[in-house]
Amino acid sequence: MAIADMQDTNPIPLNAPLVLLTGATGWLGRRIASALTTGLPEAGLFARGRFSVRALVPVGEDVSHLREQGLDIVRGDIRDMRSVRAFVAGAEGAVLIHMAGIIHPKTVAQFEAINTQGTINLVTAAQKAGVRRAVVMSSNSPMGCNPHPDHRFTEESPYNPSAGYGRSKMLMEKALRAESAAGGPMEIVIVRAPWFYGPNQPPRQTLFFKMVKDGRFPIVGSGRNRRSMGYTDNLAQGILLAAAHERAAGEIFWLADETPYTMNEIVEVVGKVLREDFGMTVKPNQFHLPVIVGDIATIVDVTLQYAGIYLQQIHVLSEMNKTIACDITKAKNVLGYTPKIALREGMRLSIDWCLKNGQKI
């Protein structure tokens, strides 16, 4: 069995009898599952699926779409070692793609319990089971925010997390990097993704579209701060290359769209797509807040999280005036990563998916 490149030619050997996947019911994880089983030809990700995939899914989550794609489902939690051992049993030579994690928790303690310790549990068990390679999803959050709008994070940028999520991913990365440095038998690859968008999106992203449509999305400061974003199928391409490419072993890669976008550009493009492609009435955005609002939200967010309290709205507002942007040169040069879909087309596909799946904008 082999993973081919994004055009199904010039095969990149994977030689894995099985792909283990966590987070398969999540926003990006569902696209990975589709790429591996039914293919995502519209994004150049395989004309057909060809892999045996086993997914670890929490009890209570709907897996009907995964069963339809032929995935083998194991119910469990990465915080529970019995679940993890059952998931990796008999997986010698497999590749693990670990997408599961928590971004907006009920309590701050869940960050490290799931993102840090849960990942350590999984990697430890996978290594004992003889899994050949683990590709682990991280984030931009361990790096914090760029010092100015023209700065780009690289794989060598220092850690500087500001709150619980970033700290949990930093601790996770440090544990994985130490394991790689120790020369264990399992290859570990870390991939970092920024704010992403695309099909299967959760209601919070649909709310973003609605706020833009209603002219109520908050531009904090000038709006010239830049954000790297990743269309989900672009990210899926990079993740599968990281799973397959020989030179990826032991490395870290930033994955995103080709270039960062200003907040003004993001809001303008979404409004234009809603208006021009879907015939919606889009009100002019007049919700502008001074930059100090974002700075105050950052102080409040950090203070609350230090006390063990997480408020999603405050955390999101705290990032609205920040530049969070990365350089994808390494992924392009080493993996051959070529993000095919940019902001306007990606937003059109995202909005189209919402409307076809009952998410009202």
Say yes or no to pLDDT of 280 above 90.
yes
41 vs 195 pLDDT, higher one: 195
The pLDDT tens digits of the residues spanning 131-147 come to 999 999 999 999 999 99
Say yes or no to pLDDT of 72 above 60.
yes
Q: 70: domain CATH number?
A: 3.40.50.720
Question: CA–CA distance from 267 to each of 208, 239, 329 (Å)?
Answer: 9, 27, 26
Mean pLDDT of 312-333: 93
φ and ψ of 81, to 5 deg: -65, -30
Q: Is 102 helix (H, G, I), strand (E, B) or coil?
A: coil
Q: Return the pLDDT at 38.
A: 79
Residues in contact with 268: Cβ distance below 8 Å, sequence separation at least 6, in sequence order: none
Q: Is 129 helix (H, G, I), strand (E, B) or coil?
A: helix
Residue 349, in any domain of the structure? no
Mean pLDDT of 142-159: 96
Are 232 and 304 spatial neighbours (Cβ–Cβ below 8 Å)? Answer: no
Residue 160, in any domain of the structure? yes
Query: What is the spatial distance between Cα 112 and Cα 120, in angstroms, rounded to a whole number?
Result: 10
Residue 75, in any domain of the structure? yes
Query: What is the spatial distance between Cα 252 and Cα 263, in angstroms, rounded to a whole number?
Result: 27
The DSSP 8-state label assigned to residue 158 in this structure reads P
Question: From edge to edge, which strands make up the β-sheet containing 187-193?
Answer: 72-75, 53-57, 19-22, 95-98, 133-139, 187-193, 252-254
Are 297 and 224 spatial neighbours (Cβ–Cβ below 8 Å)? Answer: no
Say yes or no to pLDDT of 289 above 50.
yes
Query: Please, how many CA atoms are within 13 Å of residue 145, restricted to the half-sphere of its CB?
Result: 17
Mean pLDDT of 221-248: 94
292 vs 37 pLDDT, higher one: 292
Give which of 27, 4, 24 is closest to 243, Cα–Cα. Answer: 4
Residues in contact with 46: Cβ distance below 8 Å, sequence separation at least 6, in sequence order: 4, 8, 35, 39, 40
Residue 295, in any domain of the structure? no
Residue 67, in any domain of the structure? yes
Mean pLDDT of 96-123: 94
The pLDDT tens digits of the residues spanning 168-184 come to 999 999 999 999 988 88
Say yes or no to pLDDT of 121 above 70.
yes
Token code pair at residue 192: 């970092």
Residue 359, in any domain of the structure? no
What is the extent of the structural domain holding 241?
2-197+229-258+324-340
Q: Which helix (H) or strand (E) holds 229?
A: strand 229-231
Mean pLDDT of 91-104: 94
Q: Return the pLDDT at 35.
A: 87
The pLDDT tens digits of the residues spanning 4-24 come to 444 443 333 455 679 999 999
Q: Return the pLDDT at 15.
A: 53
Residue 48, in any domain of the structure? yes
Q: Could you identify the residue written with the tokens 């706020």? A: 211
Count how many domains the chain has.
Answer: 1
Residue 214, in any domain of the structure? no
